[in-house]
Amino acid sequence: MPTSLYAPLEPTMAHAPTEIAPDTFLIHQIQPACGQPLFVYINSLVIRGAEPVIVDTGTPANRRQWMEDVFALVEPEDVRWIYLSHDDVDHSGNLEQVLDACPNATLICSWPIVERHTNCLNFPLERCRWVNEGESFDVGDRVLTALQPPVFDSPTTRGLWDPSTGVYWAVDTFATPLMDAPTNDLDGIDAEFWQFGLTLFAFGGVSPWLSYVDDAKFNAHVDRVQSLPITMVAGCHTPPLVGQRIDDAFGIVRGFPTTEAPPLPDQAALEEILAATAVAPA
């Protein structure tokens, strides 16, 4: 019986959820990088407030662990909101399962998310609320605002600002590979490696258009986010950022319009990967 390439896989490395602010938890998945001894985080967020919010829904590959992690923090029936930042599979991978498990949840999405993602999900429109860039919604004990992050890989992307904790969900911005895992901080990271990783992932994995943008306009866009009183940046593909690390990360991102895009691994790299992972015939 052939094995489906798309069958759910177990995570190779577990990392229990982390409380990054009061009642605010990162849900982790760790994915080994392709061809390098590096690791990439795939995070989601749970805000366990008066009306609990799930922010992004993990990946199919980590479905079982993701559901266990999330529903150990909040009962499915208590979840009132599912916030979908955009329709990429690492953010929407368990959306159908979460909608099924959480019958009292409203899905915060948007017209473009529904338009783009209807090819693989029959959206229950009566359970949806469309929230566009800059719009807010009340979740009982706080008001959350959708705010586009500096670097993004989908026209539908909206980050999420929680002024009650100072946590900003930056979605794919600040994505970076890590040399060690599991690790939940950047304390020991080499500054040069971090800058290279942020740049490689921004241009190669998220936003190749950065080379074409107007420097002043882009930095004005970054100002909108960085001017918030952020105390913690959480993202899908980075350990949380605090203190000086936040300013440093924004500083690196601000330089992207005048940064040369790094070269990407090519066919020769793929052949090296294949040679290194070749399984000897029986």
Piece of 113-121, 135-143, 190-198, 234-242 that binds Fe ion (CB under 5 A): 234-242
Q: What is the DSSP string of 115-178?
A: HHHTTT----GGGEEE--TT-EEE-SS-EEEEE--SS-SSTT--EEEETTTTEEE-TTTT---B
d(CA 271, CA 267): 6
Residue whose CB is less far from Fe ion, 33 or 125: 33
Stretch that binds Fe ion, among 90-98, 130-138, 177-185, 245-253 (CB under 5 A): 90-98
51 touches Fe ion (CB under 5 A): no
Q: Does 56 bind Fe ion (CB under 5 A)?
A: no
Dihedral, 173, 110, 133, 78 alpha carbons, nearest 10: -80
Interactions with Fe ion, residue window 141-180 (CB under 5 A): 153, 172
Cis status, amide bond into 265, omega within 30 of 0: no
Q: How far apart are CA 198 and CA 175, in angstroms?
A: 6
Element (H, E) at 145: strand 143-147
Q: Closer to Fe ion by CB, 139 or 233: give it.
A: 233
Contact region with Fe ion (CB under 5 A), list: 50-58, 89-97, 104-112, 210-218: 89-97
Determine, following the binding rule CB under 5 A, whether residue 90 of this chain makes contact with Fe ion: yes
Considering only 26, 47, 79, 236, the residue that binds Fe ion (CB under 5 A) is 236
Q: Is residue 88 within the footprint of Fe ion (CB under 5 A)? A: yes
87 lies in the site for Fe ion, by CB under 5 A = no
**Amino acid occupying residue 152:** F
Binding positions for Fe ion, rule: CB under 5 A: 88, 90, 153, 172, 236
